[in-house]
Chain A
Amino acid sequence: MSANVRTLDANEAVARIAHAVSELVAIYPITPSSPMGEWADQWSAEHRDNIWGSTPHVIEMQSEAGVAGAVHGALQAGALTTTFTASQGLLLMIPNMYKIAGELTPTVFHIAARSLAAQGLSIFGDHSDVMSARGTGFAMLCSNSVQEAQDLALIAHAATLESRIPFMHFFDGFRTSHEVAKIDALPDETIRAMINDARVQEHRDRALTPDKPVIRGTAQNPDVYFQARETVNPYYLACSEIVQNLMDQFGELTGRSYHCCDYSGAPDADRVLVIMGSGAEAAEETIAALNAAGEKVGLLKLRLYRPFPADRLLAALPDSTQAMAVLDRCKEPGSLGEPLYQDVLTAIAEAQASAAPRFTTTPRIVGGRYGLSSKEFTPAMIQGIFRELAKDSPKNHFTVGIHDDVTHTSLDYDPDFSTEDAETVRAVFYGLGADGTVGANKNSIKIIGESTDNYAQGYFVYDSRKSGSMTTSHLRFGPRPIRSTYLISRANFVACHQFSFLSRFDVLKLAEEGATFLLNSPHPPETVWAAMPRSIQSQIIAKKLKFYVIDAVKVARDAGMGGRINTVMQTCFFAISGVLPADDAIAAIKNAIKKTYGKRGELIVQKNWDAVDSSLANLHEVPVPSAADSGFDLLPPVPAAAPAFVQAVTGRMIAGEGDLLPVSALPVDGTYPTGTTQWEKRNIAQEIPVWDTEVCIQCGKCVMVCPHSVIRSKIVPKDALTDAPPGFLSTTPKWKEHKDEAYTLQVAAEDCTGCGLCVEVCPAKNKREVRLKAINMTPQAPLREAAVKHWDFFESLENMDRDQIHHNLVKDVQLLEPLIEFSGACAGCGETPYIKLMTQLFGDRAYIANATGCSSIYGGNLPTTPYTVNGAGRGPTWANSLFEDNAEFGLGMRACLDMQEAHAKTVLRHLAPKLDQALVDALLAAEQTTEAGINAQRERVAQLKTALHAMDSLEARDLESLADKLVRKVVWIVGGDGWAYDIGYGGLDHVLASGRNVNILVLDTEVYSNTGGQCSKATPRAAVAKFAAAGKGTAKKDLALIAMNYRNAYVARVAMGGNDTQTLRAFREAEAYEGPSLILAYSHCIAHGYNLAFGMDQQKLAVDSGHWPLFRYNPDRTLVGENPFQLDSKAPKVPLDKYIYNETRYKMLVRSAPDTARELLKAAEADVAARWDMYSYMASMPGAKAAEQTAREGEEG
């Protein structure tokens, strides 16, 4: 085994090379490339040097467009500069990429290639992004595996310096970027040897300098632009040879040989596959198996895609080639074929049309699409392609891996075909998100990779939820290199770390005959069989599985690990698999634990070690009975009452069968029904809140803060409860006007995440036992059956008439129906309560423009989405455009609504003579500032529609289609701080300045939450975040102050936990304001690092410490001569450290760099003081009326 063996993923491997050979790294987070930037930032924070002995400067920008600009500038000034990106981020760089390439400037952009948002966003891998940038003039080098990603990263950096052509080095997002594999890490001397310092010097010599000034970026005219564009041709013509020479040099240094076009397979192949990316690995594995079975097939792996090495491609193909399939991992709708296909086709066609044709008989060439959005690409599919190629008329422009029953592009294949190596151990682990399963498996792969001669691979699949998600770990290890770049479909080891999964998922689907099944079970070996669903029992018997159980939760608890079962299950895996001798395995696990957790204290290490030591004594093999006798089976994914689409489509996605859905099942334009989370019952809470009617004061705070809308209250007539199920709780309302009715508060037990936020916010205490409140967390399982009946009955009760509810009182507003529910947001999320409040107040007439980020993921990630409708079928209509353009997106909606309303009024006036004049007058003059006014207008619109329906004219039809726009609509532009403060700030600024009537809700978590906690300009000083690993040294941007400068925008800063009444007031005032409104909402977040049950307490501390002063700035107040600025919180009364050091994001700096922490705390305290001084000064300014009064008094005096 080489001394340089490392087990890591491609993001880390590539980042290491890029950091080593760069002087400046510009970064911005975007999945799946973010970890490369994070590594670079961390290494520079640790003062790790590049090969020239200086620490690269890492700079985070406000967007990828900003990154490209910074890269361009740094290159012009002579720095060796690099960046990392993906997807739409790369698209934002394109304008600068043309410039960088046009100026022949060496740089490398490393791309974890990802889908582009089209009919829907996808974070997963394909080549849509890089193919969109193929015209920029950048060279494009593709890596197919983790090893290659490291190696070609270095070759790219060397080649860009030699060729002067900038490079995109790309590899498949997730499949390669996140695959953990055993590789030979390049030693520093090899890195050094590949970089030619003379070329570095030349790069510097070309840089701008006033000591030898030149000018670049000129404007050119028709006389010379064209010729100037052609000047670069020699560089592109020379590029592939430069790359190949460097590949050869690299091969001599490392023994790993690469070519711009690598052919493998039968030398006399009749059929050849051309492909780029990780799919090439699966193809190589498949081709070896097919050739061994007597076929003659080959594979051409194209590594250098731009400049396209046509000659090398032609030379690499065997003379015997009769048919070729060119595979693209992207889609170009409307084209004659995808890019690689067209390039290959052109290369062959040009060769065949030349004086010396390459082939005696021109091969048949077809193109196909595969693997979009990380769709599986398996040996079975590859075999299917070769079978198709063997046909006389193979299908062209095919797809593979899906079932296209609409345009019938898809190829058939034998799903049972497999090329898995019998000697490779294939293990699949099902875990619950954050239970440590993935982390332990990453450690296992490292242990196996670095402690044995085995090759090893780990790949991890996550579901679409941020809380209670299922993770699936796919681990392979064995004596031969692993090229299986696809998920395990035949596992010889299956571990299920959560017993509850058994009734929800077919966890044995992947188990092959004779496999081992390890189950974490609360049931002892004697009784576990009876607790399992019938189909699981059947598979254990039919597949002759060896079956082991362990009560890992108990072992972990006894070791003081709480519910963290990862090391227990990991120990069992090693014991059962026998990959290492038992003692060696235990020692290696302990060593890995020490390495992983040692930094967090001796106790943590010791507890993990204790868990390891006590695991094997609790591991039991279960004798398998001869018959499946369970009285129950897997639960259906959605209930029978769900609508047809949910049954046919959503339900299959929930069940993990989305891959099997045919094209015809899916909407053509990305339009999906709302309100579907209600059909997915996840039952993820161990404990749920239970209401105590005696203690409750009916304040509504628990309803208000519930992030998932699982606690709701209603006031109903007493007789509505006549048929209530047993145990359904209600009490006398504390509203005088409703004292003869019944108040009830219910919990959706199956949708609750168990966060406990509701209990902590509850102000009422049980006077007999003060630890108890009006709601108390109680184990869910025993309550579930009754709770479901209670919830269903509650749902059947009428909501109170909105007119009767005081919309200015928190306790009343909580009687309003929320129109977002059961989202996949984190347990305890601090954002969703604000959105919920917005939907309660305005949801039935709201347009939501949602920036990409957490709120677009829990708001719009399939399979189920949370925005829903009220009894009248009305609810928020929601769309996500991009990350950077959300303010503009919402402005467009507003402009349209205003236009449509105006047009509707014009037509209405035209048609007035044919309509009831009183109705027309009322419609045109409608007062819609109250719920009653809006309801009255809705009734008028209904009357209008009835009247229009009877009219036979184009104008009537026109007005009929727009009549609903006569009811006041509200546009809410929603997003996080990454959007509002950084990438979308320019647009937000423009929208504020526009004066249009939109409402902007910024869910300020002070960090890029969705991509894992990178620093934004909202991140406060002294906090640690990714990209600010050494603590953020600058103050949080005061976006509110900037917005107030316009003087035409309503601006409020709110924190629900600080003052919920002020929050409510701000939302209502923002909506009422006939201009742009901006609400900055403090949102506690999992990325802050504390128990989010205390989120509201932290919000209060944020306010009381002065970190988050509450205020409202309402320009309407100037109309009555009042100061528009109202400060709603008092002077800081809690020291800042009492607030911030409750959170890991601050505290970790104290632990890692106490001196810096002390300095930053002082500076942050100064920030608080300065901000308070300014705000209190602003609040003290007299309004015009008071100023006049004072002046008058002065004169009189």
Chain B
Amino acid sequence: MSDLRSSYLGLALKSPLVASASPICARLDAIRQLEDAGAAAVVLHSLFEEQINIESQELDRHLLQGADSFAEALDYFPAVDDYRLGPEQYLEHLRKAKEAVSIPIIASLNGVSRGGWLRYAQYMEEAGADALELNEYYIPTNPDMTGAEVEAMYCDLVREVKESVKIPVAVKIGPFFSNLANMAARLEAAGANALVMFNRFYQPDFDLEALEVVPNLRLSTSEELRLRLRWVAILHGRVQTDFAVTGGVHTHLDVIKCMMAGANVAMMTSALLQRGIDHLVRVHTDLRTWLEEHDYESIEMMQGSMSQRSSREPGDGLTPK
């Protein structure tokens, strides 16, 4: 029987199949199901510092709206003793998830302030996260900000988070850098233990009747995998971090491609949202079957086998012409 084990962020995984950050991971019962279905690790949904801040500000604003203005109604809501507004709910979920399953739990963080990144990272470590995934989703809109400044910001942040926690840190990034290879190397130098490639950017649509910009969340397809494969293949060996592919992993073949490109794990979200958690069982079975049919002894054997460095014909397929 082929050995499906892999390792990621220093964690020994029973397979390269990881459930990526999604609303599924916000439910404890779903995390248990993921483990049962063969997920080797789970990345929790992201804790969004911005969302916490917005909710906090909204609650404050609305509780104060009209307060101390009219003698008969000095406020409009009962003085509730405690609101679970901050990261408490997330951390409690993280603690419960750790208790509920034996697979590693990777906490995901999307911060907007330096203080937030550091504070919440520490909270997550204290709550028992096996590793952290920093979701560095930043869209620079200021024309005065240079690319170098943006890149420095990413690296500084990774450095500081790494200094504040002891658990491994993965960095989830997008593909849009002038020289992604250089950026990857700098993130490695800053302390990143893994690169998670890639973020899928929020691309709202226009409603032409209402003349409104509307959210348009589209799930990924296997088509999107190629960009990820290409970059993992390029970076594998050039950068010494681990690699995770996220976005476009739907089938066991997608997983195999990820491994061959050089990834340590393949993360699935859209496929699970579309087909249900049980889909993971099928992928797991198909993966094992494929390995056995193709005489691969282990996942480790194929990892990086078709990276740019390992490819027999660098000019073909995955490399630029």
Encoded as 1 (CB less than 8 Å from any A CB) or 0, chain B from 137 to 164 comes to 0000000000000000000000000000
CA distance A1009 to B55 in the complex (A): 24
Contacts of B85 in A (CB 8 A): 599-601, 1151
Encoded as 1 (CB less than 8 Å from any B CB) or 0, chain A from 14 to 56 comes to 0000000000000000011001001001100110000000000
Contact B71 A123 (CB under 8 A): yes
With CB as the reference atom, state the residue of chain B lying closest to A469: B69
Q: A601-B59, A1151-B83 are in contact. Are A1012 and B74 (CB under 8 A)?
A: yes
User: Contacting chain A: which of B39-47, B60-68, B195-203?
Assistant: B60-68
Dominant secondary structure of chain B at its interface with chain A: loop
Contact A469 B70 (CB under 8 A): yes
Contacts of A1025 in B (CB 8 A): 77-78
A1023-1048 contacts to B, CB under 8 A, are 1024-1029
Contact A434 B66 (CB under 8 A): yes
CA distance A467 to B69 in the complex (A): 7
Encoded as 1 (CB less than 8 Å from any A CB) or 0, chain B from 34 to 56 comes to 00000000000000000011011
Contact B72 A1011 (CB under 8 A): yes
Tell me which of B52, B76, B212 contacts A1086 (CB under 8 A): B76
With CB as the reference atom, state the residue of chain B lying closest to A39: B79
Contacts of B83 in A (CB 8 A): 599-601, 1148, 1151-1152
Let me know if A465 is at the binding interface, CB within 8 A. yes
Contact A174 B86 (CB under 8 A): no
Let me know if B89 is at the binding interface, CB within 8 A. yes
Q: A1025-B78, A1087-B76, A1148-B80 are in contact. Are A604 and B56 (CB under 8 A)?
A: yes
Contact A1013 B70 (CB under 8 A): no
Q: A42-B79, A1026-B77, A1148-B83 are in contact. Are A597 and B60 (CB under 8 A)?
A: yes
Let me know if B211 is at the binding interface, CB within 8 A. yes
User: In the complex, what's the smallest C-beta–C-beta distance from A1014 to chain B, in angstroms?
Assistant: 9
User: In the complex, what's the smallest C-beta–C-beta distance from A624 to chain B, in angstroms?
Assistant: 32
Q: A604-B56, A1089-B62 are in contact. Are A465 and B78 (CB under 8 A)?
A: no
Contact B72 A31 (CB under 8 A): yes
Contact B68 A433 (CB under 8 A): yes
Q: A42-B79, A601-B59, A1148-B83 are in contact. Are A1009 and B71 (CB under 8 A)?
A: no
Let me know if A436 is at the binding interface, CB within 8 A. yes
Contact A1013 B76 (CB under 8 A): yes
Contact A1024 B77 (CB under 8 A): yes
CA distance A35 to B76 in the complex (A): 11
Contact B78 A38 (CB under 8 A): yes
Contact A460 B60 (CB under 8 A): no
Q: A434-B66, A603-B56, A1086-B66 are in contact. List 6 more A-B contacts (CB 8 A).
A: A433-B68, A433-B69, A438-B68, A599-B82, A601-B57, A1029-B80
Q: A600-B56, A601-B60 are in contact. Are A437 and B68 (CB under 8 A)?
A: yes
With CB as the reference atom, state the residue of chain A lying closest to B74: A1012
Tell me which of A1087, A1090, A1152 contacts B80 (CB under 8 A): A1152
- Range of interface residues on chain A? 35 or more
Tell me which of A45, A471, A770 contacts B68 (CB under 8 A): A471
CA distance A974 to B95 in the complex (A): 53
Q: A436-B64, A1151-B84 are in contact. Are A603 and B53 (CB under 8 A)?
A: yes
Let me know if A439 is at the binding interface, CB within 8 A. yes
CA distance A137 to B140 in the complex (A): 76
Let me know if A462 is at the binding interface, CB within 8 A. yes
Contacts of B66 in A (CB 8 A): 433-434, 466, 826, 1086
User: In the complex, what's the smallest C-beta–C-beta distance from A380 to chain B, in angstroms?
Assistant: 25
Let me know if B73 is at the binding interface, CB within 8 A. yes
With CB as the reference atom, state the residue of chain B lying closest to A34: B72
A408-446 contacts to B, CB under 8 A, are 433-434, 436-439
Let me know if B300 is at the binding interface, CB within 8 A. no
Q: A41-B78, A1148-B59 are in contact. Are A436 and B84 (CB under 8 A)?
A: no
Contacts of A124 in B (CB 8 A): 71
Encoded as 1 (CB less than 8 Å from any A CB) or 0, chain B from 71 to 104 comes to 1111111111111111001000000000000000
CA distance A466 to B83 in the complex (A): 28
What 8 pairs across the A-B complex have the smallest Cβ distances? A433-B69, A601-B56, A438-B68, A1012-B73, A1029-B78, A1013-B76, A1089-B62, A1151-B83
Contact B60 A600 (CB under 8 A): yes
**B contacts with A, residue count (CB < 8 A):** 37
Contact B82 A1152 (CB under 8 A): yes
CA distance A32 to B71 in the complex (A): 8
Contact A31 B77 (CB under 8 A): no
Contacts of A32 in B (CB 8 A): 71-72
With CB as the reference atom, state the residue of chain B lying closest to A827: B66
Contacts of B84 in A (CB 8 A): 1151-1152, 1154
CA distance A1090 to B63 in the complex (A): 9
Where the two chains meet, the residues of A that have a C-beta atom closer than 8 Å to any C-beta of B are: 31-32, 35, 38, 41-42, 45-46, 123-124, 174, 433-434, 436-439, 460, 462, 465-467, 469, 471, 562, 564, 597, 599-604, 765, 767, 770, 826, 857, 1009-1013, 1024-1029, 1086-1087, 1089-1090, 1144-1145, 1147-1148, 1151-1152, 1154
With CB as the reference atom, state the residue of chain B lying closest to A1026: B78
Contact B60 A1009 (CB under 8 A): no
Contact A174 B71 (CB under 8 A): yes
Contact B68 A434 (CB under 8 A): yes
Q: A434-B64, A1090-B62, A1152-B83 are in contact. Are A857 and B72 (CB under 8 A)?
A: yes
Contact A1144 B80 (CB under 8 A): no
Contact B68 A439 (CB under 8 A): yes
CA distance A728 to B268 in the complex (A): 62
Contact B62 A1144 (CB under 8 A): yes
CA distance A46 to B82 in the complex (A): 10
Contact A770 B212 (CB under 8 A): yes
Contact A1147 B56 (CB under 8 A): no
CA distance A1027 to B66 in the complex (A): 19
Contacts of B53 in A (CB 8 A): 601, 603
User: In the complex, what's the smallest C-beta–C-beta distance from A38 to chain B, in angstroms?
Assistant: 7
Contacts of A41 in B (CB 8 A): 78
* 6 CB < 8 A contacts A-B: A31-B72, A436-B64, A597-B60, A1009-B73, A1026-B78, A1152-B80
CA distance A466 to B69 in the complex (A): 7
Tell me which of B69, B75, B79 contacts A462 (CB under 8 A): B69
Contacts of B73 in A (CB 8 A): 466, 1009-1013, 1087
Q: A436-B64, A1154-B84 are in contact. Are A462 and B71 (CB under 8 A)?
A: yes
User: In the complex, what's the smallest C-beta–C-beta distance from B233 to chain A, in angstroms?
Assistant: 42
Contact A31 B86 (CB under 8 A): no
User: In the complex, what's the smallest C-beta–C-beta distance from B23 to chain A, in angstroms?
Assistant: 14
Contacts of A767 in B (CB 8 A): 211
Contacts of A45 in B (CB 8 A): 78
Contacts of A460 in B (CB 8 A): 68
Contacts of B63 in A (CB 8 A): 600, 1089, 1144, 1148
Contacts of A123 in B (CB 8 A): 71-72
Contacts of B89 in A (CB 8 A): 1154
User: In the complex, what's the smallest C-beta–C-beta distance from A599 to chain B, in angstroms?
Assistant: 5
Contact B70 A466 (CB under 8 A): yes
User: In the complex, what's the smallest C-beta–C-beta distance from B78 to chain A, in angstroms?
Assistant: 4
Contacts of A433 in B (CB 8 A): 66, 68-70
With CB as the reference atom, state the residue of chain B lying closest to A1086: B66
With CB as the reference atom, state the residue of chain B lying closest to A1015: B78
Most buried by A among B58, B76, B86: B76
Contacts of A765 in B (CB 8 A): 211
Contacts of B74 in A (CB 8 A): 35, 438, 1012
CA distance A924 to B83 in the complex (A): 67
Contact B78 A604 (CB under 8 A): no
Contacts of B59 in A (CB 8 A): 600-601, 1144, 1147-1148, 1151
User: In the complex, what's the smallest C-beta–C-beta distance from B95 to chain A, in angstroms?
Assistant: 15
User: In the complex, what's the smallest C-beta–C-beta distance from A85 to chain B, in angstroms?
Assistant: 15
CA distance A1147 to B62 in the complex (A): 11
User: In the complex, what's the smallest C-beta–C-beta distance from A629 to chain B, in angstroms?
Assistant: 36
Tell me which of B52, B65, B71, B80 contacts A1024 (CB under 8 A): B80
CA distance A466 to B71 in the complex (A): 9
CA distance A436 to B64 in the complex (A): 8
